[in-house]
Homo-oligomer: A and B are copies of this chain.
Amino acid sequence: MSDVLLHNSYGKSAVRLTKVVRKGPAHELFEIDADIQLEGDFDAAYRDGDNRGVVATDTIKNTVYVLAKEQAFDSVEAFALILARHFLKTYDHVTAVAVELKQASFQRIIVDGRPHDHAFTSAGPQMRYTRAFKSRTGEELKGGVRDLVVLKTTASEWRDFHTDRYRTLKDTRDRIMATKVDATWTYNTPSADFPAAAKSIDNAVLTTFATQHSLGVQQTLLGMGEAALAACNVIDSITFELPNLHRIPFNLDPFGLKFENDIFVATDEPYGLIKGTISRERK
């Protein structure tokens, strides 16, 4: 009895594209990292090394640059759709394609109080994220943000949680809460003003984080999700992954000093990881 190739896909990852749009004096800059995966009838390549149907990953990479040249777009969401539709249209034996793009954040350097036409600096670790998935039966478009670091120095509690033999952590009514927001949302349309949508969601997330008194990351997660859905009507659901960037009170007792929510040990490991999906309605 022979084995079964139950599932397969392949593609190119970490395709790094810089595109400069030179219309008028002020240049537009796109710094994009692309991951593309194709599914389809590629069994012959796996079974027999018959590669006639295989679009080489190098070819996939070329396609990203060629379409970036030939097509205009104002958002990674639009470019992801262009790419996904291209692969499905061009290759009959491809049954589905997933395109994931991340865009680095840049802002114009300010010179004499005005944003410069062609000089940029990093605007932070946060990246724009999108995923277009297209099969022969449908199309799904997601947007998101990655690595949006936020920290609040008060208005955050963590208390009255479950107690048993394994608990040692004490209640606190004032702690630092910090996280690196990963949010992914599902658009309900393929043709919105995506930069505006993303901006309104980012703003809802940041404002909720800043202003909502927090009883826990879970509560804050739901609050941010509800605010995002309220702020942006072209999305139907939003998923968060929130690592807890713990700031642990430094024990000042041995030194005859008093902890006053002022001196903390910053740690990366281990970290709490809180996830949740908020939707307009039950699916």
Asked whether any CB of chain B lies closer than 8 Å to the CB of A190, the reply is: no
- Interface residue range, chain A: 35 or more
* Bound form: Cα–Cα A276–B40 in Å: 12
Contact, CB under 8 Å: B278 / A6: yes
> Chain B contacts of A150 at CB under 8 A?
109, 119-122
* Bound form: Cα–Cα A27–B155 in Å: 12
* Bound form: Cα–Cα A265–B164 in Å: 22
* Bound form: Cα–Cα A254–B150 in Å: 33
Interface with B: A74-82, A129-137, A203-211, which one? A203-211
* Bound form: Cα–Cα A14–B243 in Å: 11
* Bound form: Cα–Cα A118–B178 in Å: 12
User: Within the complex, which residue of B222, B244, B263 is in contact with A46, where a contact is CB–CB below 8 Å?
Assistant: B222
Contact, CB under 8 Å: B206 / A109: yes
Given A20-B261, A109-B206, list of 17 further CB < 8 A pairs? A6-B279, A8-B275, A10-B218, A17-B263, A20-B153, A22-B261, A48-B219, A51-B162, A52-B162, A55-B166, A56-B158, A56-B169, A63-B166, A118-B154, A121-B150, A123-B124, A166-B255
Chain A contact residues, CB within 8 Å of chain B: 1, 3-22, 27, 29, 31, 35, 37, 42, 45-63, 65-66, 68-70, 90-91, 106, 109-111, 116, 118-126, 148-155, 158-162, 164-169, 176, 206-207, 209-211, 214-219, 221-222, 225-226, 229, 237, 239, 243-244, 247, 250, 252, 254-255, 257, 260-283
